[in-house]
A and B are shown apart, each in its own frame.
Chain A
Amino acid sequence: MLKRVAITGLGLVTPLGTGRKKVIPLLLEGASGIAPITLFDASSYAVKIAGECNDFDPRDYIAPKEIPRMDRFCQMGLAASHIAYEDADFKQNAPRDEKLGVIIGTGIGGIKSFSDEIMQLHEKGPQRVSPFFITRMIGNMASAQTAIALKAKGYTSDPCSACASGTNAIGEAFKRIQMGYEDVILAGGAEASVVPIALAGFSVMRALSKRNDDPWKVSCPFDAKRDGFVIAEGAGILVLEEWERAVNRSANIYAEMVGYGASCDAFHITLPEPSADGPARCMENAIKDAGIECDEIDCINAHGTSTKANDATETLAIKKVFGEHAGNISIHSTKSMIGHLLGAAGGVEAAVLACAIQSGDIHPTINLTDPDPDCDLDYTPLKMKHRTIRYGLSNSFGFGGHNYSLIMKRVP
């Protein structure tokens, strides 16, 4: 008998701010977190804008001595985990160490540390590489440092599935709690790739928009003008908890996690397969896993990157799966406001969906003024919408063709 899974805590570090209470109202207003890059001098780069977490201060969450031992992605993942754990408000009912897990995905890991220490190697030689280089760089450290901080002695891991890592992490956590392996798992994603080498890399592959003049207008998923995503950083962590446990301690349950689907395009390293079979099967798998009918889904937090290829293919996939019901679904893209947090995107977007399901407030897709004829569904353009969401779905698709979908149910 599978156990039910509640979402009882949320932790956000985003370009619109830190913490659910700050971020969600701004998303509902349609605010943008995209701005000129300040983390380094980007004046010589073709792309000069990003979603930076400028209000994030690791000292608010992490002991001073530990901070230089962690890459920024790890600091953000650990901070978001602390926020989520606090939000779950366990009080006297903290999970047993052995039944607490951590699954924080990252697309890249400590790329700033990697880049800095390679410079150090070339400039000063092999004896001058930091003794903390390896442990700052490796992608599992957001999970490991969170496990150390919270004494999580159950399952810990670091899914690495590009821009779908966060969703992948949450899905695996959901399954582990369903199976009874852990009682509580902190799951999501962390990424800090607003770094010269990453910006250069994504830029030369033509993945990023180069319209630098109006930073807040550039990320325009499903719009005819869209010409690439905006790179961003941050972390999004959910506390997933075994249902009876959450109910017995009268926890605030944002939503029930009910479905997880996965698939691979097995087609190309970056391009989505044009028939949209991969993402369509992924959503179908999640719907089957949830044991519901297609027409019970009322809201989709889209992958919606603002690239030509993704938004058209995702639209096609939604039409394939939902048929006529596709037009009734309130679709929206969080990336229109905060950009693409890569491996952290799925974590943040799952948290945003959980809030939408609890409140019925669906944030808009901003900058959608000139819809692409190939994107002809209801993307909640420009203004938020209020409706009862019976079930909501969140999509994440990653380079390599990795597709993951989550389904959450409203708690009556």
Chain B
Amino acid sequence: MNEQEILEKVKPVIADKLGIGEDEITMESHFINDLGADSLGLVDITMALEEEYSMEIPDEEASKLVTVGAMIEYIKNNAK
């Protein structure tokens, strides 16, 4: 899967968790600064994507995944 394909797949998950439109979400979006997530909301998204892609993101890695692009890069490299 390439990054664009992953983006299209994660958009509805993020939009649902944050109560926003999918069109607001781009590779560059910062979860907290751009999309209005709070720290718990970001954990919620991370857990949903862990479930979706059957992976465990260690806490120290998760704390770095603050943009949609970083999250997608991580999924691309680690999804099973």
**Interface residues in chain A, defined as those with a beta carbon under 8 Å from any beta carbon in chain B:** 63-66, 69, 127-128, 130-132, 135
**Which parts of B28-54 form the interface with A (CB within 8 Å)?**
40, 43-44, 47, 51
20 interchain pairs (CB within 8 A)? A63-B19, A64-B19, A65-B18, A65-B19, A65-B20, A66-B19, A69-B40, A127-B47, A127-B56, A128-B47, A128-B51, A130-B44, A130-B47, A131-B40, A131-B43, A131-B44, A131-B47, A132-B40, A132-B44, A135-B40
Chain B residues near A65 (CB-CB < 8 A): 18-20
B44 contact set on A, CB distance < 8 A: 130-132
Complex alpha-carbon distance, A113 and B47, angstroms = 17
Enumerate chain B residues within 8 angstroms of A131, measured Cβ to Cβ. Answer: 40, 43-44, 47
Least CB distance, B44 to chain A, in whole angstroms: 5
Interchain nearest-CB distance for A11 vs B (Å): 24
Contacts of A128 in B (CB 8 A): 47, 51
Residues of B within 8 A of A (CB): 18-20, 40, 43-44, 47, 51, 56
Measured between beta carbons, the chain A residues less than 8 angstroms from B19 are 63-66
Known: A131-B43, A132-B40. 18 other contacts (CB 8 A): A63-B19, A64-B19, A65-B18, A65-B19, A65-B20, A66-B19, A69-B40, A127-B47, A127-B56, A128-B47, A128-B51, A130-B44, A130-B47, A131-B40, A131-B44, A131-B47, A132-B44, A135-B40
CB contacts (< 8 Å) of A66 on chain B: these are: 19
Nearest CB in chain A: distance from B78 CB, A: 15
Q: Which residue of A lies closest to B44 (CB)?
A: A131
Kindly provide the distance from the CB of A289 to the nearest chain B CB, expressed in whole angstroms.
43
CA distance A64 to B40 in the complex (A): 16
> What's the nearest-Cβ distance from chain A to residue B58, in Å?
11
Closest CB pairs A-B (n = 10): A65-B19, A131-B43, A64-B19, A131-B40, A131-B44, A65-B18, A132-B40, A63-B19, A132-B44, A131-B47
Least Cβ distance of A75 to chain B in Å? 15
> Inside 8 A of A127's CB, which chain B residues have their CB?
47, 56
Bound complex: CA A128 to CA B40 (Å): 14
How far, in whole Å, are A131 and B56 apart by their CA atoms in the complex?
A: 15
Q: What's the Cα separation between A128 and B44 when bound, in Å? A: 10
The minimal Cβ–Cβ distance linking A295 to chain B, given in whole angstroms, is 56
> Which residues of B are found within 8 Å of A130, using beta-carbon distances?
44, 47
**Nearest Cβ distance between residue B74 and chain A, in whole angstroms?**
17
* CB-CB nearest in chain B for A67: B19
Q: Enumerate chain A residues within 8 angstroms of B51, measured Cβ to Cβ.
A: 128
A135 and B39 CA atoms in complex are apart in Å by 13
For A63, A69, A131, A132, the residue with the greatest tally of chain B CB atoms inside 10 Å of its CB is A131
Bound Cα distance A130, B44 (Å): 7
CA distance A127 to B59 in the complex (A): 11
The complex places the Cα of A127 from the Cα of B57 at a distance, in Å, of 10
State how many angstroms separate the Cβ of B80 from the closest Cβ of chain A.
16
State A130–B20 Cα separation when bound (angstroms): 20
**Which chain A residues border B18 with CB–CB below 8 Å?**
65
Residues of the B chain whose Cβ atoms lie less than 8 Å from the Cβ of A64: 19
How far, in Å, is B16 (CB) from chain A's closest CB? 9
Smallest distance from the beta carbon of A98 to chain B beta carbons, Å? 25
Q: How far is the CA of A66 from the CA of B43 in the complex (A)?
A: 15
Which residues from B are CB-within-8-Å of A135?
Answer: 40
Whole-angstrom distance from the CB of B47 to the nearest CB of chain A? Answer: 7
Question: CB-CB < 8 A to A63: which residues of B?
Answer: 19
Q: In the complex, what distance in Å separates the CA atom of A33 from the CA atom of B43? A: 40
Q: Which residues of B contact A69 (CB under 8 A)?
A: 40
Which residues of chain A have C-beta atoms less than 8 A from B43's C-beta?
A: 131
* Residue from B19, B43, B56 having most chain A Cβ neighbours under 10 A: B19
